[in-house]
Structure 1
Amino acid sequence: MSVKVITKDNFENEVMHSEKPVLLDFWAAWCGPCKMLSPLVDKYSEEDSSVNVGKVNVDEENELASAFGISSIPALFVVKHGKVVASTVGYMPEEELKSFVASAKAK
C-alpha cells in the first residue's frame, strides 16, 4: 500500500470511511524528527496491507491539525471505524512503530 496525502478534501473518504484502520502521520517539512520518522512510516505502509497510511502536512492542512489538537510533531494517530483509538507524539524506532500500530489495531 502506498502512503496517501491526506487533505481536508479527502479526509472524510480516506480516513473516516476507511474499511481498514488508518495510521495518520502529522508532519512538516522543517521538522527534523518528522524527517527521521517518515521513511519508517513509508516502509510500514509497504509491509502491512491491513492498515491504510496517510500523511498530513500541518503547514498545508491547518484545519485538520486543529481538529486533532496538534501542538507537537511528528504526531501519529490510529483511526479505526471513524474514531481515534491511539495517538503518540515524537520520533520512535521502527519496532516501536510496529508495536504502536499493532496494539491500536487490536482495540
Structure 2
Amino acid sequence: MVEGNREIVALDVDTFTELTKLDGVVVIHLSAEWCGPCQAFTTVFHETAENHDDVVFATLDTDSQPELGAAFHVKSIPTIAVMRGGALIFTHEGSLSERALNDVIRQARGVDVDEIRKSMTSGVAST
C-alpha cells in the first residue's frame, strides 16, 4: 500500500493493520451496501479523495468485516473515522458535506503525530 495513493482501499484486517503503521492521514468510510445514506455519501467521499494526494482513503463494509466495525465502536452508519500516526483522532456518525470533510482533513494534517504517540504510551507501566 502506498501512502497518498488515490485508490480507495477496501479494508480488511490485514489492510487495516497496514494503515495503522502510516504517519499520514487516513480517512475511513464505514458503511454497508444496504445503507442508503452510506451510498449517498460515497459520491462526496470519492470526490474528496480525488483532491487529496497525501491522504489515504479507505472503506469498511461493516457487514463483511464486523470485527473491524466493532473495533471502531460503530453504533450507526455511515460513520467517518480519521486516523493519524496509527491513532484514531476523529469519528463522526452520519454523512458530512464535502466542505466539512475537507475541514476535518485539514485539521487532521495539523495533528502532532509525536504527541499522539506519547499519549498512547503514557500511563503504560514498564516492566
RMSD (Å), alpha carbons: 1.1
Equivalent residue number for residue 53 of structure 1: 57
Larger Rg: 2
Q: CA deviation at 1:9?
A: 2.2
Q: CA deviation at 1:22?
A: 0.4
Which protein, 1 or 2, shows the higher relative CO under an 8 Å CA cutoff with sep ≥ 6?
Answer: 1
Equivalent residue number for residue 95 of structure 2: 91
1:25 and 1:74 in contact (8 A); partners too: yes
Unaligned runs of 5+ in 1: none
Cα deviation, 1:23-46, whole Å, max 9, x if unaligned, reads: 011011111111111111111111
Confirm or deny that 1:10 pairs with 2:24.
Answer: no
Q: Return the TM-score normalized by structure 1.
A: 0.93
Q: CA deviation at 1:4?
A: 0.6
Q: Runs (4+) of structure 1 moved beyond 4 Å? A: none
- One-letter identity of the residue aligned with 2:8: V
Equivalent residue number for residue 79 of structure 1: 83
Q: Return the TM-score normalized by structure 2.
A: 0.79
Question: How many residues are aligned here?
Answer: 106
Cα distance in 1 between the residues matched to 2:109 and 2:34: 30
Moved more, 50-59 or 16-25: 16-25
Unaligned runs of 5+ in 2: 1-5, 112-127
Percent of pairs with identical residues: 24
